[in-house]
Amino acid sequence: MSDAYCPDCKRSTEVVFDHSAGDTVCSECGLVLEAHSIDETSEWRTFANESNENDPVRVGGPTNPLLTDGGLSTVIAKPNGAQGEFLSSSLGRWQNRGSNPDRSLILAFRTIATMADRLGLVATIKDRANEIYKKVEDLKSIRGRNQDAILAACLYIACRQEDRPRTVKEICSVANGATKKEIGRAKEFIVKQLEVEMGQSMEMGTIHAGDFLRRFCSHLGMTNQAVKAAQEAVQKSEELDIRRSPISIAAAVIYMITQLSDEKKPLKDISLATGVAEGTIRNSYKDLYPYASRLIPTSFAKEEDLKNLCSP
């Protein structure tokens, strides 16, 4: 109940809302203060088939502007155990006649969603990847190309544009068999096609070593203190002229930090967690080693502790 001014009582009184009639009634004199009002709040009534289910949803899925019909087309379901009978029935014939023109798009979007879910990516990245694929598909230039590589490349580009980059190896792990080389080629092809269509360079976002660091540290089970030290070291490394990829720098910093911590990590484990070859990590570590005193926070390791670092 809530309070409202009642003209009969000449003062503010408690009112009762009658949901069935939509009336607001004074609790003291019974005067109807408002009739047939509309309840604009959410409806949580259960419309599930089973009484023990608690599913308040009674509406369809959201519309998809990338599809011709907004994603709200009707599909006639097949009865259980009636595969052959359904196809020969009148319902089956009508379903085939009214085939969805966006069927290939829907399948592509589902594949992108599956890959994104396996990588733990947010919905905005899925939507961006869908938009990129729709643009490329509209150009009719991907026929005959590896579809899995194209979809994986769209997801890779979307991650870059949304400032949540993933390595090609991470994308490859969920790409249904597409290799790193195929995904790389597909990415270059998509970027080239869209740049020609837009008439300008395509914004891909800048990759920093810090974009990958926390995720790599989590895979290795590093302590919070070690993670903070690695993050500070990575930030300082951007001030140096180290001509290595951000992923390689992140892996080398992790190797450096773990050598100074109580829980040392083998180079093989770091290579598996980061996707960077052991030789590449060694070479990157060799480039960072002369600057160790500048990179490592004094709160994590003292000057004399740096002597325990393995020489490259």
Q: What is the mean pLDDT of residues 290-307?
A: 77
Long-range CB contacts (within 8 A, 24+) of 143-150: 145/186, 145/189, 146/178, 146/182, 146/186, 147/108, 148/111, 148/175, 148/176, 148/177, 148/178, 148/182, 149/175, 149/178, 149/179, 149/182, 149/183, 149/185, 149/186, 150/186, 150/190
Query: Would the pTM of this model clear 0.75, i.e. be above it?
Result: no
Q: What is the pLDDT of residues 269-278, one digit of tens each?
A: 999 999 899 9
Considering 200-204, 279-283, 303-307, the range whose residues carry the highest mean pLDDT is 279-283
pLDDT above 70 (res 150)? yes
Residue 263 has a pLDDT of 81
Residue 17 has a pLDDT of 83
Q: Tell me if the domain spanning 103-198 has CATH number 1.10.3720.10.
A: no
Q: What is the mean pLDDT of residues 167-185?
A: 90
Residue 270 has a pLDDT of 92
pLDDT above 90 (res 158)? yes
Residue 43 has a pLDDT of 61
CATH of domain 209-307: 1.10.472.10
Q: What is the mean pLDDT of residues 210-223?
A: 89
| Residue 132 backbone phi and psi in degrees, to 5 | -65, -45
Q: What is the 3-state secondary structure (H, E, C) of the chain?
A: CEEEEECCCCEEEEEEEECCCCEEEECCCCCEEECCCCCCCCCCCCCCCCCCCCCCCCCCCCCCCCCCCCCCCCCCCCCCCCHHHHHHCHHHHHHHHCCCCCHHHHHHHHHHHHHHHHHCCCHHHHHHHHHHHHHHHHCCCCCCCCHHHHHHHHHHHHHHHCCCCCCHHHHHCCCCCCCHHHHHHHHHHHHHHHHHHHCCCCCCCCCCCHHHHHHHHHHHCCCHHHHHHHHHHHHHHCCCCCCCCHHHHHHHHHHHHHHHCCCCCCHHHHHHHHCCCHHHHHHHHHHHHHHHHHHCCCCCCCCHHHHHCCCC
What's the distance, CA 127 to chain centroid?
9
Residue 93 has a pLDDT of 62
Residue 116 has a pLDDT of 93
CA distance 84 to 97: 17
pLDDT above 90 (res 111)? yes
Higher pLDDT, 307 or 150: 150
Residue 68 has a pLDDT of 65
| Residue 56 backbone phi and psi in degrees, to 5 | -80, 0
Q: What is the pLDDT of residues 48-86, one digit of tens each?
A: 555 555 555 555 666 676 776 666 666 666 666 555 554
Sequence ranges of the chain with CATH classification 1.10.472.10: 103-198, 209-307
Q: What is the pLDDT of residues 115-132, one digit of tens each?
A: 999 999 999 999 999 999
Q: Mean pLDDT score of the chain, rounded to an integer? A: 81
Q: What is the pLDDT of residues 1-51, one digit of tens each?
A: 678 888 888 888 888 888 777 888 888 888 888 887 776 666 665 555 555
Q: How many residues does the chain have?
A: 312
